Structure 1
Amino acid sequence: MSTLEIKDLHASVSTDDGPKPILRGVDLTVKAGETHAIMGPNGSGKSTLAYAIAGHPKYEITSGQVLLDGEDVLEMTVDERARAGLFLAMQYPVEVPGVSMANFLRSAATAIRGEAPKLRTWVKEVKGAMADLEISEEFADRSVNEGFSGGEKKRHEVLQLALLNPKIAILDETDSGLDVDALRVVSEGVNRYRSPENGVLLITHYTRILQHITPDFVHVFAGGRVVESGGPELADDLEKNGYERFVKVAS
């Protein structure tokens, strides 16, 4: 049973004017079998939390701990974090010209699993996962995310999630830029991944994805920290009343 523990985490982001403090004492625990939704206004630090955990060099951890199954994530390189079982689906997936989706996915699976998957079984596995996400097989030969629509990029992120099967998945606004059909397909992909063996940290502004992916816990993020936690009903309250009262508490 895997567990991600975030303890009193503080972090800054590099700017032209020097480091800017963003995270101001984040405490959160995500266990296998649980889905946690983090909701909050723009600029509250939600994406900073995701990138800081993943090891983005722009973000500096100034104090606190991030533990995965008791191991210090902050002492790991980015690739070590991935091999340990962390996964980040980015809000704005980057384009990688010249690298085909097929090569990218097999290289990633090889790095995570410790050996290259058998080609025959791997092709079947990829085709099945692509079919589930309604991704045309021709995309396997295209460069990673190059020329993809927003929905296609997000489907590719969830395709990676399905094939790599991490212990803990951090999904940073996976619903942004999706139309109704793409939201349904992406949500179904996340739901197929969810199991008693893994955990999900889902970052979002809106409740619409939570109509497809029911969280066990909802956390309100404001001022660089969690200011309120509850069950799915908290998301309904946010949809009705907004974030204003929580922003006042955090300021």
Structure 2
Amino acid sequence: MSTLEIKDLHVSVAAEDGAKEILRGVDLTIRGGETHAIMGPNGSGKSTLAYAIAGHPKYEITGGEVLLDGEDVLAMSVDERARAGLFLAMQYPVEVPGVSMANFLRSAATAVRGEAPKLRTWVKEVKGAMSELDIDPDFADRSVNEGFSGGEKKRHEVLQLSLLKPKIAVLDETDSGLDVDALRVVSQGVNRYRAAGDVGVLLITHYTRILKYITPDVVHVFAGGRIVESGGADLANELEENGYVKYGAGAEAAS
């Protein structure tokens, strides 16, 4: 069972008037089998946390640690983080013209697993995963995310999750842009993967609607670049009812 430890993490991003600190001391531990939801207002630093964990070059780590099973994640390249078991489902998945989904997925699986999956087994595995997510088989021959709807892009992200089998999955606003049917299918895909192993999930969202399908063990309120409150699943309902008014000062500081 894996553990992701984030200790006093500080992150800055370049701005016109110099570096701007976004994360101001984040402390968070996610263990295999746990699902943590992070909620907070716009500009509070939620996506910055996701990209910092994944290794996006735009974000400069100015202090703190990120450890996966005791190993220093911040010393790893992006591909090393993926091979170590980290996965990021992006809020805005990018298009990759000229690269088919089939080639992309097999190349990614080969890189993460350390060897190419046997073709016959792999084809069966991909077809099964695509069927569970209601993805048309013809999409395997299409360029990655090119011309995909928002829902189709998010299903592809969860398809990657199910095939790459990470230890820790960071889902950055996976519910963004989804209609009710797509939200249900995507959530079921995440739940299937959660049930299949001891994956730890960090689910970043603005709204409680995805939490009606994916029940978190812990809900964290993010404001001003740090976690300001934590509680059980009922905390999300409180936020839905009352909003982030009482955290307003912290939210303004990070906007």
Give the shorter-chain TM-score range.
Answer: over 0.9
The separation in 1 between residues aligned to 2:16 and 2:149, in whole angstroms, is 31
1:220-231 equivalent positions in 2, closer than 5 A: 220-231=221-232
SS in 2 for 1:135: coil
Contiguous gaps of at least 5 residues in structure 1: none
- CA change 1:249–1:42 in 2 (3 A) is closer
Structure 1 residue 152: Cα displacement: 0.4
1:147-226 equivalent positions in 2, closer than 5 A: 147-195=147-195, 196-226=197-227
Letter in 2 for 1:86: L
The separation in 2 between residues aligned to 1:125 and 1:181, in whole angstroms, is 24
The residue aligned with 1:62 is: 62
Structure 1 residue 244: Cα displacement: 1.1
The separation in 2 between residues aligned to 1:247 and 1:64, in whole angstroms, is 25
Letter in 1 for 2:175: D
Question: What do you get for the CA RMSD once the two structures are aligned?
Answer: 0.9
The separation in 2 between residues aligned to 1:17 and 1:81, in whole angstroms, is 31
1:62-81 equivalent positions in 2, closer than 5 A: 62-81=62-81
**TM-score, length-normalised on structure 1?**
0.98
**Offset from partner CA, 1:96-153 (integer Å, 9 cap, x none):** 0000000000000000000000000000000000000000000000000000000000
1:41-52 equivalent positions in 2, closer than 5 A: 41-52=41-52
Letter in 1 for 2:200: G
Structure 1 residue 14: Cα displacement: 1.9
The separation in 2 between residues aligned to 1:76 and 1:15, in whole angstroms, is 25
The residue aligned with 2:7 is: 7
The residue aligned with 1:20 is: 20
The separation in 2 between residues aligned to 1:129 and 1:56, in whole angstroms, is 28
Structure 1 residue 249: Cα displacement: 5.5
The separation in 2 between residues aligned to 1:198 and 1:208, in whole angstroms, is 22
**Offset from partner CA, 1:156-199 (integer Å, 9 cap, x none):** 00000000010000000000000000000000000011145210
The separation in 2 between residues aligned to 1:91 and 1:6, in whole angstroms, is 21
Letter in 1 for 2:223: A
**Identical residues among aligned pairs (%):** 82
The separation in 1 between residues aligned to 2:212 and 2:103, in whole angstroms, is 34
Structure 1 residue 20: Cα displacement: 1.1
The residue aligned with 1:118 is: 118
Structure 1 residue 18: Cα displacement: 2.5
The separation in 1 between residues aligned to 2:52 and 2:248, in whole angstroms, is 22
**TM-score, length-normalised on structure 2?**
0.97
The residue aligned with 2:96 is: 96
Structure 1 residue 95: Cα displacement: 0.3
Structure 1 residue 17: Cα displacement: 3.0
The separation in 2 between residues aligned to 1:249 and 1:85, in whole angstroms, is 32
**Offset from partner CA, 1:17-56 (integer Å, 9 cap, x none):** 3311100000000000000000000000000000001000
**Offset from partner CA, 1:204-250 (integer Å, 9 cap, x none):** 00000000000000000000000000000000000000011023356
SS in 1 for 2:93: coil
The separation in 2 between residues aligned to 1:70 and 1:228, in whole angstroms, is 26
The residue aligned with 1:144 is: 144
What is the number of equivalent residue pairs in this alignment? Answer: 251
**Offset from partner CA, 1:62-99 (integer Å, 9 cap, x none):** 00000000000000000000000000000000000000
